[in-house]
Structure formats: structure tokens, C-alpha cells
């Protein structure tokens, strides 16, 4: 008996890396899987290669599972709707959506082009919205469902050369929590995972210094298969009551992230002026200001 027996799951960007690992374990745990992948390159260029998704479907079927391939583009609303239609047509229902599809266009901010910005947001953030919106009506009608979205510590904490990716991934956290709040009345859950895993996406992280190279080497030890168990759990009924949360997986570690809440307050009965703020702001807030750190600064120890 698997945690997902009788469930149907759609996984975007499932032709390789983390998405493929999700698809294989979801199927192993009893789910019927729609394996979506546009077949493009890491930066989003190119499309139409059906090999990646088809190979994952073949792997699932060879292991005795059920799956169908889909090649639509999540950044296109009609494409997102087609992915949902693929699930309904093939399996008659849809119970879990994993928003995993993504691209990278890393560049330092003052050199970032409009297309670098908009293309990354279109796939990550707009794609996650398009898919979630296409699924929401079905989840509402059946009074059940689970969303699992992929965020990133680049968005939660920070990284060089990834302002577009950071904005998209932090936006997904807000999207997920909004869905969790709005759809809880329909027994629908929505959560985020920030995955640490070495994939073709990670290979593009700038590594000019020795410390950066060592960080990438540490990431290389963390395989996509380490992420999938948490995604399966969050998609299953075993996670009932868990919604609106942000988690991370780093090799054998699972983290629960806090979310923004007030930590300090200053008050003047006579109100504030710029001069008064200049006098008091740093003394009151300075020790509590969030450092300008990157993900690697916060997760600085070797993966366990």
C-alpha cells in the first residue's frame, strides 16, 4: 500500500532532475502520473522534444505504474489547461499538482535584460499560477486536493545574479499561502518545498571563487531523489492539516521555515519625522536587521 493509492498527480517539468524523481516516487507510491515537460533547455530556449517526458513515462510503466506524457507549456494558460485535461482524460480525476517547472537566466542585476526577467517569471510564477488556477475548480468540486510548489532558498534568503529567479520563487511562497487561505474551506492544502539538489538548474550557479566551487561540490552530493519523499507526503492524506507552510530538504535534513512576522517596534506619541528616525532607527532596529546573506552563508555546514 502506497501513500497515494488511487490518486492522480500532475507534475510539471518532470522530464528530468527533481521533477523526474517526483514522478517516479509518486508512481511507486500508487499515484497515476501526468508527466509534463516542454522539452526545452535550462534557459527556456527550444521546445518540442518529447524524449524527456516519454522516457520518464516508460520508466514508470516498466516498474508497473501508470503514467501519460504531456508536452504543453505552463507559461501559456491554454497549455496549463491542457495539462489538467490530460489528467482528466487519461485517469478521470486529478488530486495532486506539483508545480516544478522552471528555467534559469542568471545574470548580475545591472546587466539583466527585460526578457531575462519576464521569461523567468513567466515560467516559475505565472506558470505556477496558470497551473494552480486550472486545477482549482476541480479541487473545489471534489472537495479535496493538494498543491506542492517548488520555491528556493535563493528566494527565501538570496543569491548573486538571480534577482529574477529570487523574485519568482519568493512570489510562489505568497501564491501558495494565498491558495492555502482561500481554499482551506474546500479541504485543499497548499505548501512549498525549497529543494537542495544537484540538477542542470544548479549547474548554472556562478562559482568563481574557491568557496563557491566548494558549495557547488556539496550540492552535487544531494540527489533529486532526496526531495521526492517530502513531496509525496505533502500530496498525501497523511499531511492533512499541513497547509500554507514552507519547507526545505537538504540531503537527509528536512527544515520548516519561519515566515515574516514583526520582530521589533518603535513608537512615539508625537509621531515620527525623518530626523527622529535618523536618531533612533539604527539603535532600536540595528541588532535585528536581517544580514545581507546568501543561501550558502546560512546553510554553511556540510549536508548530513
d(CA 56, CA 14): 8
Known catalytic residue at 165:
yes
Q: Which grid coordinates belong to 110?
A: 545591472
Q: Are strands 246-250 and 253-256 parallel, antiparallel or unpaired?
A: antiparallel
- Residues facing residue 150 across a β-bridge: 193
Report the interhelical angle of 163-183 vs 127-142 (nearest 10°).
10
The active-site residue out of 139, 165, 196, 233 is 165
Q: What is the largest CA-CA distance in the chain?
A: 73
Structural Rg of the chain based on CA atoms: 20
Residue among 135, 165, 166 at smallest CA distance from 148: 135
Say if CB 193 and CB 249 are below 8 A apart: yes
Distances (CA, A) of 53 to 38, 149, 180: 8, 19, 29
What residues are labeled active site?
Answer: 165
Amino acid at each position: 500500500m502506497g501513500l497515494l493509492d488511487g490518486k492522480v498527480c500532475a507534475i510539471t517539468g518532470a522530464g528530468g532532475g527533481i521533477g523526474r524523481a517526483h514522478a517516479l516516487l509518486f508512481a511507486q507510491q500508487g499515484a497515476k502520473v501526468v508527466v509534463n515537460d516542454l522539452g526545452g533547455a535550462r534557459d527556456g530556449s527550444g521546445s518540442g522534444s518529447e524524449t524527456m517526458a516519454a522516457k520518464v513515462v516508460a520508466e514508470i510503466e516498466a516498474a508497473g505504474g501508470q503514467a501519460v506524457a504531456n508536452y504543453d507549456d505552463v507559461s501559456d494558460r491554454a497549455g496549463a489547461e491542457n495539462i489538467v485535461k490530460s489528467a482528466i482524460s487519461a485517469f478521470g480525476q486529478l488530486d495532486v499538482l506539483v508545480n516544478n517547472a522552471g528555467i534559469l537566466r542568471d545574470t548580475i542585476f545591472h546587466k539583466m535584460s527585460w526578457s531575462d526577467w519576464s521569461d523567468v517569471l513567466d515560467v516559475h510564477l505565472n506558470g505556477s499560477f496558470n497551473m494552480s488556477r486550472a486545477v482549482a475548480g476541480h479541487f473545489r468540486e471534489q472537495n479535496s486536493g493538494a498543491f506542492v510548489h517548488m520555491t528556493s532558498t535563493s528566494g527565501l534568503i538570496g543569491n548573486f545574479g538571480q534577482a529574477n529567479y529570487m523574485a519568482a520563487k519568493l512570489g510562489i511562497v505568497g501564491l501558495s499561502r494565498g491558495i492555502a487561505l482561500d481554499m482551506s474551506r474546500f479541504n485543499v492544502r497548499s505548501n512549498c518545498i525549497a529543494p537542495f539538489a544537484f540538477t542542470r538548474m544548479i549547474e548554472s550557479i556562478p562559482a568563481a571563487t574557491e568557496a563557491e566551487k566548494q558549495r557547488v561540490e556539496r550540492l552535487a552530493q544531494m540527489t533529486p531523489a532526496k526531495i521526492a519523499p517530502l513531496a509525496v507526503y505533502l500530496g498525501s492524506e497523511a499531511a492533512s492539516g499541513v497547509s500554507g507552510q514552507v519547507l526545505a530538504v537538504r540531503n537527509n535534513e528536512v527544515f520548516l521555515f519561519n515566515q515574516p512576522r514583526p520582530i521589533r517596534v518603535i513608537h512615539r506619541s508625537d509621531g515620527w519625522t525623518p530626523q527622529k528616525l535618523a536618531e533612533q532607527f539604527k539603535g532600536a532596529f540595528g541588532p535585528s536587521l536581517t544580514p545581507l546573506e546568501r543561501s550558502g552563508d546560512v546553510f554553511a555546514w556540510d549536508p548530513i
